[in-house]
Structure 1
Amino acid sequence: MLPLRCHLKRTPPQKLLCRFCAMMGKLQSKLKHSTYKYSRPDAIIEERIKTTAFHEYSPAHVDTVSVVAALNSDLCVSGGKDKTVVAYNWKTGNVVKRFRGHEHDITKIACLHKSNQFFSASRDRMVMMWDLHGSSQPRQQFSGHAMVVTGLAVSPDSAQLCTGSRDNTLVLWDVGTGQCVERASVSRNLLWDLRQTRNRICEYKGHFQTVASCVFLPRALALMPVIATSSHDCKVKIWNQDTGACLFTLSLDGSGPLTSLAVGDTISLLCASFRRGIHLLRVDHSSGLELREVAVF
């Protein structure tokens, strides 16, 4: 019995379980201390520290993640410095498919509405169209910019794609043929006068560094219209869209600049970061409009 007892000491059940979970593409839950600010109804802002359990799933990328977008209520599409576009099931923690074709960092991703198709832009000056259920090769390529592509927008009917670049041009493309429909040169520094609409302009103050992303949150989350922002200061904030009041602040300490936000479903947000991949955040209604980190991949 002595050799058996020694063997059990060397390989405790916890380690065996951890190895098994790693083989399945997941790690055990860990405890994480997150700092956040909560705005009480009496207007007093409290800073709290919450210890929560979260999952570390198989990483979607091996390097910095620069952008994430929601393809549907289960899948997200992301890209980054590893030059790879990844379709990921953020509910199960599994990579669905990897798409390779770009020669440099992925800068932007745009998904076709109610479709399995999406676009990726890159520092290689190219835009590629992919099909989740198609081949690993791009379905369409859009070539014509002289510098990095920094903007993507799909028309409501999904027939046209608009791209912007640091070469100071906007290009309108036909999605079906990949041909340029129209090209326009624009000033490097554009100033749009929103006051001409005569609508109220709201200012959201609170981040200390560059704000990299802003999304409108589903109306089901709160009684008021709310938006969420992510910043290079490692913080995600929820705001009252109409008043500009900051309702909640979640600090993802150690994650580096937060580069992109996407709405996963009615209670979930996806946040891309430089150092820790993609964070899955969930809205907790038990004590107000709070965000908590539940997974990272």
Structure 2
Amino acid sequence: MLRWGNCRSVAVCNWRSGAVLGRFVSHEHEVTKVTCAHDSNRVFSASRDRTVMMWELHGTSGPRQRFPGHELVVTGLAVSPDVSRLCTGSRDNTVRKWDVETGECLCRAALSRNLVTHLCWVPGEPYVMQTSEDKTIRMWDSRELRVAHTFPGKQHIQTSCDVSQDGRYCLSSSSGFAGEGCEATLWDLRQTRSRVREYRGHLQTMASCVFLPRGPALTPSIATSSHDSKVKVWDRDTGACLATACLEGAGPLASLAACDSSTLLCASFHSGIHVLQLRHREELELEEVAVF
């Protein structure tokens, strides 16, 4: 797993033990996003210093490649499955596509008021999903870096997004307060006219949303984290909340990562990374099993 913070560094940790396997330090300001591709030893980090860097897990301590050019903080990262292309987004209203090997910016697209909050690649497709502070979710065709579709606008800022492993669905999360907004929304990428379902129950901004890998004994599920210090697991198809973990003292909860069908990692503002496990007892329970 990857971890970052206001120390301007990226740490690679073993999520089972919490042991730090490596640390990368080169950004001039705080790291905002990190990502990597499955089965790749390359890690990408974005920063408030307006740059993106690529690191080799088993390489030198310095960055393998740099991607400068954005005019404001970089807030979105998505790498293609073959790790040949990188898409980045920023508060400068632009999305850019890069050649990973050369660091060359291949193309740039600017949209008014498009303050990017998150990017994710659609598995098996040339499309990239994007959320924005203008309350919209966009689908970009990465080949020409043009908007292929814009989904119906929401009432609140869209903070993050994720795409299911089969590439059929997109999930987005909303900002909010006192239960107003604070929802996740499921979108069908094949029929893009309207939302499929909403998931409501958080009381403050929903910071992150992810699809859980399908396990042999689990219905299709999603997970969400919020500034209300709670992580929730939902039945994707019915919208029912299956389990909730309250991480008291952790402060606002930020990003989520699914390790497998029953294990989640949740980053917090005040207490590091929380490891959460789904337990099958009389009812499905979400328990904290470690913090590092």
Category of TM-score, reference length = shorter chain = 0.7 to 0.9
State the Cα distance separating 1:94 from its structure 2 match: 1.2
Q: In structure 1, how many angstroms separate the alpha carbons of the residues matched to 2:4 and 2:26?
A: 12
TM-score normalised to the size of structure 2? 0.73
* SS at 1:219 equivalent: coil
The structure with the largest strand share of the pair is 2
Q: In structure 1, how many angstroms separate the alpha carbons of the residues matched to 2:63 and 2:232?
A: 36
Q: In structure 2, how many angstroms separate the alpha carbons of the residues matched to 1:140 and 1:212?
A: 29
* SS at 2:199 equivalent: coil
State the Cα distance separating 1:288 from its structure 2 match: 3.0
> Who is 2:112 aligned against?
187
Identity, % of aligned positions: 60
Query: How big is each residue's C-alpha offset from its partner over 1:174-213, in whole Å with a ceiling of 9 and x where there is no partner?
Result: 0110000010001322633258625652111111111111
* SS at 1:214 equivalent: strand
Change (3 A) 1:248 1:190: closer
> Who is 1:129 aligned against?
54
Q: In structure 1, how many angstroms separate the alpha carbons of the residues matched to 2:255 and 2:96?
A: 23
Matched, 1:120 2:78: no
Q: In structure 1, how many angstroms separate the alpha carbons of the residues matched to 2:240 and 2:80?
A: 32
* Aligned partners of 1:113 and 1:158 also within 8 Å: no
* Aligned partners of 1:221 and 1:267 also within 8 Å: no
In structure 1, stretches of 5+ residues that fail to align are 1-75
Change (3 A) 1:186 1:221: farther
In structure 2, stretches of 5+ residues that fail to align are 114-133, 137-149, 153-186
Q: In structure 2, how many angstroms separate the alpha carbons of the residues matched to 1:141 and 1:200?
A: 37
Larger radius of gyration: 1
Letter of the 1:212 partner, please give it.
A
> Who is 2:226 aligned against?
231
> Who is 1:169 aligned against?
94
Q: In structure 1, how many angstroms separate the alpha carbons of the residues matched to 2:264 and 2:5?
A: 18
* SS at 1:138 equivalent: coil
* Aligned partners of 1:281 and 1:292 also within 8 Å: yes
Q: CA RMSD in A?
A: 1.6
Q: In structure 2, how many angstroms separate the alpha carbons of the residues matched to 1:182 and 1:207?
A: 38
Letter of the 2:96 partner, please give it.
V
* Aligned partners of 1:237 and 1:249 also within 8 Å: yes
Q: In structure 1, how many angstroms separate the alpha carbons of the residues matched to 2:282 and 2:111?
A: 47
TM-score normalised to the size of structure 1? 0.71
* SS at 1:202 equivalent: strand
* Aligned partners of 1:110 and 1:119 also within 8 Å: yes
Relative contact order, higher structure (CA 8 A, sep 6+): 1
Structure 1 runs of 4+ aligned residues shifted over 2 Å read 189-200, 286-289
> Who is 2:267 aligned against?
272
Letter of the 2:279 partner, please give it.
D
Letter of the 1:163 partner, please give it.
T
* Aligned partners of 1:222 and 1:289 also within 8 Å: no
The structure with the largest helix share of the pair is 1
